[in-house]
Chains A and B, each alone.
Chain A
Amino acid sequence: MKHIFYQRQIIEDLPPEAFMPDPEAHRRAEVISRPNINFWSDVWRRFRKNRVAMTGLVIIALLVLLCVFGPLLAPTSYEFTNMKAANLAPSGANWFGTDKLGRDLWARVWVGGRISLVVGVIGAVLPTIFGVIVGGVSGYFGGKLDMIIMRVIDIIMCIPSLIYIILIMLYLGTGILPIVLAISMTGWMGTARSIRALVMQLKVREFVLAARALGSSPMKIILRHLIPNCSGIIVVSLSLHIPSVIFQEAYLSFIGLGIQSPMTSWGQLAQIGGEVYRNYPYQLLIPSAVICLVMLAFNLFGDGLRDSLDPRLRD
């Protein structure tokens, strides 16, 4: 069938070569036009654009630097007492003032920060690792094992974790190690639950079936396929766990079960400040402000990280 065509606009001055076949066109199209972006660098790119989250990261970095180098700038060491200089308000010599024993609070805040941050990080990393393993095993193998693990978690979660922490602390005594242990023992259930749920979703996905069909061992599937796919959630839960551990440590110190003097922590400083806040409010306000700042920074950071990992929640 032949048609008579009407063209709306005709480009007249075309050379005849223009209508020669162009077999090369296919190959040229094979060149990938968009750069291939690796998952974590993509996350980092999105994260960098998130100003709020970057602020969190910068604050964390600053606080860490202050904790490392801050005490060097203090006039005296954190445990040096001087009853003549007790309860001094912040000044040029003692930037944060002194406490009731005349100890320099600038030094104490940053030394205490070392303890709080170390407790926070270790107290978040240990239970996260444990929770990932338990959740991964429970979710992957399922069945009876899964049921038992989940019932155990149900039972443990029946009681506010602070109760356990108090009991364990009473048993183990005070000090950094008991605090970290007590907090770790009670902080893994949430992670275990969410990892289990995720693994249960992932394990029926095609790529896992493919790995299984190719004869990979369960351990290898968990390590090579499932956990990397959970890494986003793990990192986020870790970064959001740290502030809650810092809070728990602070609370323990607050009720007198935490770090013992002359060693200190942010929670202990806030607690001591809380005893004298009527007369010396700066002793409460400074450690409080630092605690709030670090909690805020970690929460902003973790939140931003979650958004970067899950583009659906972003625009």
Chain B
Amino acid sequence: MLKYVVKRFFISLLTLFILATVVFFLLHSLPGDPISSNNGILPKELMNKLRAHYGLDQPVWKQYIQYFANMFRGELGYSLKHANRTVASVIRESFPVSASLGLRGLALGYPIGVLLGVIAARRRGKPADYICIIIGILAISVPSFILARILQWIFSVKLGWLPVAQWKGFKYTILPVFCMAFGMMNGRSMRAYMLEVVSQDYIKTAKAKGVPERRRVWRHMFRNAMLPMVTGLGPLVAGALTGTFVIETIFSIPGLGKQYVDAVKGLDYTLAMGLTTFFAAFLIFANFMVDLAYGLVDPRVRIE
């Protein structure tokens, strides 16, 4: 078990390293640098000074080595756009926002999605099944930026009940959280897994020993159908916690996603790099946790 964890850890580190390298060179191959957007605003000498200050006048490979040397010391450097702000402080500030939005969305949407899947599978071919499927298809068919805009139009502009944007209190969270949750209310994969489990022999065994349907569904089918669902939970959790670009942009929520879009568009190398590395590290971590959690629910992979 320990050996497995250690091995996974090193693979994760290697993954992170390769990823950071790729993103580094991709960013640096973009035309222009962050300072040049001030062309005409700042005098030439000041711009060159700034370049020297941030090390942007060095050859790319030196910047690369410098970057990793800093990262090794646990420094992600300074944002090139926000004066005097470290990348770490940007992450510290925006991550809790993204995480709280994501967790609420997940806590609202995921159980509903799973439940819809169970109901659909139990009432297969009946009206309830179709209703659940239609909700699921709507959930993936309505793009979040459209749902968000339309909800804003109805609840903020027309009815005036909820604020349009910003992130300043519970009232502000309702629309974005619902938008996030709605995309997860897709019970179709759970339905498919339930229907796969339904025809398993051990469900017949349970039926043959007189276990009533309700108990068969929840005690026997549900747990076995959740196994494959857990695998998909890692990326989902990581994605939810690290923010969604779309919803954060539309609702002007100062989360990681919005910071990232701004950083990339503004060629803020260090911030974009730092955020990318953070995203990747988080996703790898989440997948790792899911692997461990999988062992808890599936006795077959539990190491004894």
- A residues with CB within 8 A of B: 52, 151, 154-155, 157-160, 162-163, 166-168, 170-171, 243, 247, 250-251, 254-255, 270-271, 273-274, 277-278, 281, 284-285, 288, 291-292, 295-296, 299-300, 303, 312-313, 315
Q: Can you give 15 contacting A-B residue pairs, CB < 8 Å?
A: A151-B11, A158-B19, A160-B239, A162-B245, A166-B261, A167-B264, A171-B29, A171-B30, A251-B245, A254-B246, A255-B261, A284-B150, A295-B140, A295-B142, A303-B137
Q: A168 to chain B: which residues have CB within 8 Å?
A: 26
A277→B153 contact, CB < 8 A: yes
- Please name the residue on chain A nearest to B154 by beta carbon: A281
Residues of B close to A243: CB separation below 8 A: 140-141
A274 and B145 contacting across the interface, CB-CB below 8 Å = yes
The segment out of B58-66, B88-96, B277-285, B293-301 that lies at the interface is: B277-285
- In B14-42, the 8 Å CB interface with A consists of 15, 18-19, 23, 26-27, 29-30
B225 to chain A, nearest CB (A): 14
The verdict on B192 contacting chain A, using a C-beta distance below 8 Å, is yes
Q: A155-B19, A243-B141 are in contact. Are A170 and B264 (CB under 8 A)?
A: yes
Enumerate chain A residues within 8 angstroms of B260, measured Cβ to Cβ: 163
Which residues does chain A contribute within 8 Å of B152, judged by CB atoms?
Answer: 277
Residues of A within 8 A of B157 (CB): 277-278
Any chain A CB within 8 A of the CB of B162? no
Check if A291 sits within 8 Å of B146, measured CB to CB. Answer: yes
B143 within 8 A of A: yes
B210 at the interface (CB under 8 A from A): no
Contact with A along B116-160 (1 / 0, CB 8 A): 000000001100001001000110111101100110110001000
Question: Which of chain B's residues 231-285 have a Cβ closer than 8 Å to chain A?
Answer: 235, 239, 242, 245-246, 249-250, 260-261, 264-265, 276, 279-280, 283-284
CA distance A160 to B279 in the complex (A): 8
For residue B199, CB closer than 8 A to chain A, the reply is yes
Complex Cα distance A30/B229, Å?
A: 48
Question: Which residues on the A side are within 8 Å of B188 (C-beta)?
Answer: 303
Beyond A158-B280, A166-B261, A284-B149, is A292–B124 a contact (Cβ under 8 Å)?
Answer: no
Residues from chain B with a CB closer than 8 A to the CB of A274 are 145, 149, 250
B211 neighbours in A (Cβ, 8 Å): none
Which residues of the other chain, B, contact A255 by a CB distance below 8 angstroms? 245, 249, 261, 265
Q: What are the 8 A-B residue pairs with the smallest beta carbon separation, nearest first?
A: A295-B141, A296-B141, A288-B146, A158-B280, A274-B149, A155-B15, A299-B137, A158-B283
Residues of the A chain whose Cβ atoms lie less than 8 Å from the Cβ of B112: none
Those of B214-242 within 8 Å (CB) of chain A: 235, 239, 242
Asked whether any CB of chain A lies closer than 8 Å to the CB of B108, the reply is: no
Residues of B within 8 A of A163 (CB): 260, 264, 276, 279
User: Which chain B residue has the least Cβ–Cβ distance from A298?
Assistant: B141
> Complex Cα distance A155/B17, Å?
10
Contacts A274-B145, A285-B150, A296-B141 given; indicate if A159 touches B124 (C-beta within 8 A): no
Q: Is the interface of A mostly helix, strand, loop or mixed?
A: helix
> Is the Cβ of B192 less than 8 Å from the Cβ of A313?
yes
The answer to the question of B195 belonging to the interface, with a C-beta cut-off of 8 Å to chain A, is yes
Q: How many Å from the CB of B157 to the closest CB on chain A?
A: 5
In the docked arrangement, what's the CA distance between A255 and B15, Å? 29
A295 B143 Cβ-Cβ under 8 A: yes
If A277-B157, A292-B146, A295-B141 are given as contacts, then 11 extra A-B residue pairs at C-beta distance below 8 Å, sorted by A number, are: A151-B11, A159-B280, A163-B260, A171-B29, A251-B246, A270-B146, A284-B153, A291-B146, A295-B142, A295-B143, A296-B137
Given contacts A163-B260, A278-B157, contact A313 B141 (CB under 8 A): no
Cα–Cα distance between A271 and B188 once the two chains are bound (Å): 30
Distance of A153 Cα from B92 Cα, bound (Å): 29
Query: Are A158 and B15 in contact (CB-based, < 8 A)?
Result: yes
Q: Which residues of A lie under 8 Å from residue B153 when comparing CB positions?
A: 277-278, 281, 284
Instruction: Report the minimum CB–CB distance from B278 to chain A (whole Å).
Output: 10
